[in-house]
Amino acid sequence: MAGKIPFDFIMHAGDISYANGDQPIWDEWGNQMQPLTEVIPYMVAVGNHEDYNLWDAFIYRFKMPAHESGASDGNFYYSYNFGGIHFIILNSERGDFSHSLPQYQWLVRDLASVDRKVTPWVFASFHRPWYCSNMAHPGSGDAMKDSYEDVFYQYKVDISFVGHTHAYERTLPMYKGAVRPDGIVTILNGNGGTHEGSDKHWLPKPVWSAYRETVFGFGIATVYNSSHLHWQMMKAADGVVADDWWFVRNH
């Protein structure tokens, strides 16, 4: 089975099973996912639909490398290296993003420890987007953005992979609400599918929105070297590539 899977690992930015606390649905989802999860790493961030029964399913059904990366809050935030990538996973669901709290303090320490000669790429993943032109969930990531964007920019995080909104959008590199060549690209890939349906209503397209579409699909990132990454968003229904983009690091 492993030879048939053309991926090294999968990243899921929250709202994992949509069980909403129903443990038999979690079991069914786990059985459906087993052909993937038994052969490749399946890394997760927490979403708002995991916020049932005190997060029990998210805490006890997954084991992410929090302890190994010096974090102190179970699966909720952690980091790991994969090839030339340093990946940071954060919790966007707990509301308070004060700099005095453990998650922010850990984030600063973690970013400061990254050796860009070893892992030239730094990605982040969390559930709620900082920049999104869809009309669903307006401002849901603003509190986190207001607190964390400066440190992301200081340490030159390349891309944030997020979900929450049931659509797809890729932004230009952003910082403080403006397009900046050395800013952070947001890839909103919340279009995996849900019984709640897709979010079809968009604001007038802002200058920072590079591509957006309401369609079920998934994304594939291929890192070729320390400077070139190829990203594709593929439509689930027919495998057609909807968004095709090359990221060239220049910092």
Known catalytic residues are 137
Contact 75, 66 (CB under 8 A): yes
Residue 28's contacts (CB-CB under 8 Å, 6 or more residues apart) are none
Closest CA to 44 of 113, 82, 91, 8: 91
CA–CA distance, 12 with 16 (Å, rounded to integer): 7
State the amino acid at position 91 in one-letter form.
N
**Tokens representing 246?**
């090359």
Query: First-to-last CA distance in the chain?
Result: 39
Contact 225, 246 (CB under 8 A): no
DSSP β-bridge partners for residue 12:
44
Coil, strand or helix: which one is 111? Answer: helix
